[in-house]
Structure 1
Amino acid sequence: MIRDMSMRQANADDARVLAEIHMQARAAAMPLLAVVHTQDEVFEYFRDDVIPGSDVWLASSPAGIAGFSARKEWELDHLYVALPFWRQGVGTALLHMAMLTVPRLELWTFQCNDAARQFYEGHGFEAVAFTDGSANEEREPDVRYVWEGPDDHV
Structure 2
Amino acid sequence: MLPSAPVIRAYADDDWPAVSRIHDAARLDELRDSAGVEAFLTLEATAEEEGLFDGDLWVATVDGEVAGFAAYDEGELTWLYVDPGRYRSGVGRALLRHALAASGDERVETTVLDGNPAAFALYLAEGFAVVETRVGKLAGNERFEATGHIMEWCRP
- Give the TM-score normalised by structure 1: 0.83
Deviation at 1:81, TM superposition (A): 0.7
C-alpha RMSD over aligned residues? 2.2
Q: 1:65 to 1:145 in 2, by over 3 A?
A: same
What does 1:4-153 align with in structure 2 at a 5 Å threshold? 4-32=5-33, 33-36=36-39, 38-39=41-42, 42-43=43-44, 45-46=46-47, 49-51=51-53, 53-62=54-63, 64-100=65-101, 101-134=104-137, 136=139, 137=142, 138-150=144-156
Tell me, in whole angstroms, the C-alpha distance in 1 between the residues paired with 2:46 and 2:16: 8
Q: How far, CA to CA, are the matches of 1:75 and 1:56 in structure 2?
A: 12
Contact kept, 8 Å, 2:30 with 2:113, in 1: the verdict is: no
Q: Distance in 2 between matches of 1:27 and 1:133?
A: 19
Shift >4 Å, 4+ stretches: none
Q: Give the Cα separation in 2 of the matches to 1:4 and 1:89.
A: 8
Q: How many residues align?
A: 147
What amino acid sits opposite 1:68 in the alignment?
F
Structure 2: gaps spanning 5 or more residues: none
Rate the CA distance shift 1:78–1:98 in 2: closer, same or farther, 3 A: same
**CA distance 1:95–1:4, shift in 2 (3 Å):** closer
**Post-superposition offset of 1:27:** 1.4
Distance in 1 between residues matched to 2:16 and 2:48, nearest whole Å: 5
Structure 1 pair 85/37, CA: closer, same or farther in 2 (3 Å)?
Answer: closer
- Of the two structures, which has the highest relative contact order with CA contacts closer than 8 Å and spacing of 6 or more? 2
Which of the pair is proportionally richer in strand?
2
Q: What is the CA-CA distance between 1:35 and the residue it aligns to?
A: 4.1
Q: Measure the CA separation in 2 of the matches of 1:139 and 1:81.
A: 24
In 2: Cα distance, 1:105 partner to 1:34 partner: 28
